[in-house]
């Protein structure tokens, strides 16, 4: 039986149409005049948020030694912010700075930083069921490809986390490979011929040791997925009794390297980073989330997802494909979110990316990311949206950030969903373009029409499942009642097809 997930409310929609047919006169012009505008702010800035739930409290950890906590996934309280010895979550790292930053991350490192400063990026925290401690995995980083994945432990999710050691190195050359542990696992001749190219690190084939995230598979084994641009996304198993890497045997045919682990997707220094793997026990799939584009507000930053029946792949998209080395990667991966503007938003959301994801203790599933805004700045803020799986087991990210909505297996009546929708198409591009809404109507004869679009829609009785066909393209998704940014109760849909996401909001 499908678990109950989120979205139920008795809805009073502004300007909704309870019955309409393809023959009625309709207004397809987009207007926000009668729609309230709001700004549900998180109250904190946490970049690259990775989430952990502990006894009903949610923690997000981010780059630049930030962290925050919440009890509702909406309002966040900062508990750590910035590079300082007094930082209560991360500050202990400065007590061992000579070790923690020996290779990368400060002006005194083996590999000097581009700006001479300290860099601690993209942490992820997991409760280790074997040791009973919280383990934080993060990187100290120097240049765009020279980094070092480290780990730290604590008895509390709020720290302090005590640095334990370095795990994986990248960005080395013939001059400094001896300062890494690479030669403990591979032959020196092999390392210098393979990992080093023309005297420098072979970044197109091998990873940047950054953006680590750690998870348990369905059999209880612990894994770390990592990588940013460079050679792509890689996977390594961890020993739960120590938190250390279990280096595999090399298997060139299956893209397994003895030091870096298995390459899952990417390579050739294309924009792919921020990997996160979530297992869904209902669908029995592992979902690999990544981000494409540049992280600035006009850089086209966005969330993509692939899935696999096995933890180590292969991870494929809705077309059964994945990006290999130097692939035109915009053609691969289901795009969940990019730049978009919806009714009730004061500003367009820009560069929505570098997400984590989780299944809550009550069975609901969420995606957690940071967004910038179309306001001329690079200010950013975390957001949490609920995901519902469609009938085919692909995640459909709901249009608005979660505010406690709940959907049940019994779904909705036809009268609840027929009417006028503001719909956006997230597309598959990687650009600064904003997905703006058009008006469409879901008619009570199951036709669909809008300006320059036509098609049909359907719903599965006594469920929240729905489908759309628009101009010959098929999309499978879900209906869900929720609150928009201004607190108005609205019916929404989220549907996916051909690696694209469509969102609709009924007014």
Other CB atoms within 10 A of residue 178 CB? 11
Non-local CB neighbours of 44 within 8 Å, separated by 6+ positions: 66, 68, 76, 77, 78, 381, 382
Q: Distance between alpha carbon 299 and the CA centroid of its chain, in Å?
A: 16
Can you name the residues that pair with 289 across neighbouring β-strands? 276, 305
Q: In what order do the strands lie in the sheet with 302-308?
A: 273-280, 285-292, 302-308, 334-337
In terms of Cα–Cα distance, which of 459, 460, 466 is closest to 497? Answer: 466
Say whether 414 is catalytic: no
> Which residues is 200 bridged to in the sheet?
197
Which residues touch 156 (CB under 8 Å, ≥6 apart)? 134
CB atoms under 10 Å from CB of 327, counted, come to: 18
The token duo for 349 is: 């959301």
CA terminus-to-terminus distance, the chain: 32
Integer Cα distance of 413 and 409 in angstroms: 12
Distance of alpha carbon 40 from alpha carbon 477, whole angstroms? 25
Cα dihedral sign for 6, 10, 13, 16? Answer: positive
For residue 112, report the phi and psi dihedrals to the nearest 5 degrees: -70, 150
CA angle 477, 287, 354 (to 5 degrees): 95
φ/ψ (deg, to 5) at 183: -75, -5
Determine which one of 48, 205, 211, 365 is catalytic: 48
- d(C-alpha 332, C-alpha 336), whole Å: 12
Set 211, 237, 273, 484: catalytic member = 273
- CB burial of 416-448 (b: ≥16 within 10 Å; e: otherwise) equals bbbbbbbbbbbbbbbebeebebbbbbbbbeebb
For the chain, the residue count is: 507
The neighbour count for residue 81, using CB atoms within 10 Å, is 18
Residues marked active site are found at 48, 273
């Amino acid at each position: 039986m499908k678990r109950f997930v989120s979205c139920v409310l008795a809805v009073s929609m502004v300007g909704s149409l309870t019955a309409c047919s393809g023959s009625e006169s309709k207004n397809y012009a987009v207007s926000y005049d009668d729609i309230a505008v709001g700004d549900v702010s998180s109250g904190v800035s946490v970049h690259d948020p990775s989430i952990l739930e502990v006894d009903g409290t949610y923690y997000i950890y981010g780059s630049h030694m930030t962290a925050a906590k919440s009890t509702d996934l909406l309002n966040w309280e900062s508990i750590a912010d910035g590079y300082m010895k007094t930082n209560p979550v991360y500050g202990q790292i400065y007590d061992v700075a000579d070790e923690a930053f020996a290779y990368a991350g400060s002006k005194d490192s083996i590999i000097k930083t581009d700006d001479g400063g300290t860099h601690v990026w993209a942490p992820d925290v997991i409760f280790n069921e074997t040791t009973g401690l919280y383990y934080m995995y993060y990187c100290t980083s120097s240049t765009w490809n020279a980094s070092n994945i480290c780990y730290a432990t604590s008895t509390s999710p709020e720290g302090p986390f005590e640095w334990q050691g370095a795990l994986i190195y990248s960005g080395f050359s013939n001059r400094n490979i001896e300062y890494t542990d690479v030669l403990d696992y591979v032959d020196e001749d092999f390392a210098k011929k393979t990992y080093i190219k023309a005297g420098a690190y072979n970044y197109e084939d091998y990873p940047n040791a950054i953006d680590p995230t750690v998870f348990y598979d369905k059999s209880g084994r612990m894994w770390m997925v990592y990588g940013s641009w460079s050679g792509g996304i890689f996977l390594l198993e961890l020993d739960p009794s120590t938190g250390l890497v279990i280096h595999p045997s090399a298997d060139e045919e299956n893209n397994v390297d003895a030091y870096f682990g298995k390459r899952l997707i990417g390579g050739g220094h294309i924009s792919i980073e921020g990997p996160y793997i979530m297992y869904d026990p209902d669908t029995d799939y592992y979902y690999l989330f990544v981000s494409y584009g540049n992280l600035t507000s006009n850089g086209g930053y966005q969330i993509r997802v692939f899935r696999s029946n096995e933890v180590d792949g292969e991870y494929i998209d809705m077309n059964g494909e994945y990006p290999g080395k130097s692939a035109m990667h915009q053609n691969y991966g289901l795009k969940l979110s990019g730049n978009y503007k919806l009714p009730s938003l004061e500003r367009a959301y820009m560069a929505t990316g570098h997400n984590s994801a989780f299944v809550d203790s009550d069975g609901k599933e969420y995606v957690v990311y940071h967004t910038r805004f179309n306001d001329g700045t690079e200010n950013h803020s975390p957001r949490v949206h609920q995901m519902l799986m469609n009938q085919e087991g692909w995640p459909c990210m709901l249009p608005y950030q979660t505010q406690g909505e709940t959907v049940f297996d019994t779904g909705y009546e036809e009268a609840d969903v027929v009417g006028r929708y503001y719909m956006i198409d997230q597309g598959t591009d990687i650009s600064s373009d904003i997905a703006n809404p058009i008006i469409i109507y879901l008619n009570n004869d199951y036709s669909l029409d809008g300006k320059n679009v036509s098609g049909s829609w359907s719903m599965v009785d006594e469920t929240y499942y729905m489908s759309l066909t628009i101009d010959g393209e098929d999309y499978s998704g879900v209906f869900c009642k929720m609150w928009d940014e201004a607190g108005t109760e609205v019916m929404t849909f989220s549907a996916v097809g051909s690696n694209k996401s469509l969102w609709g909001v009924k007014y």
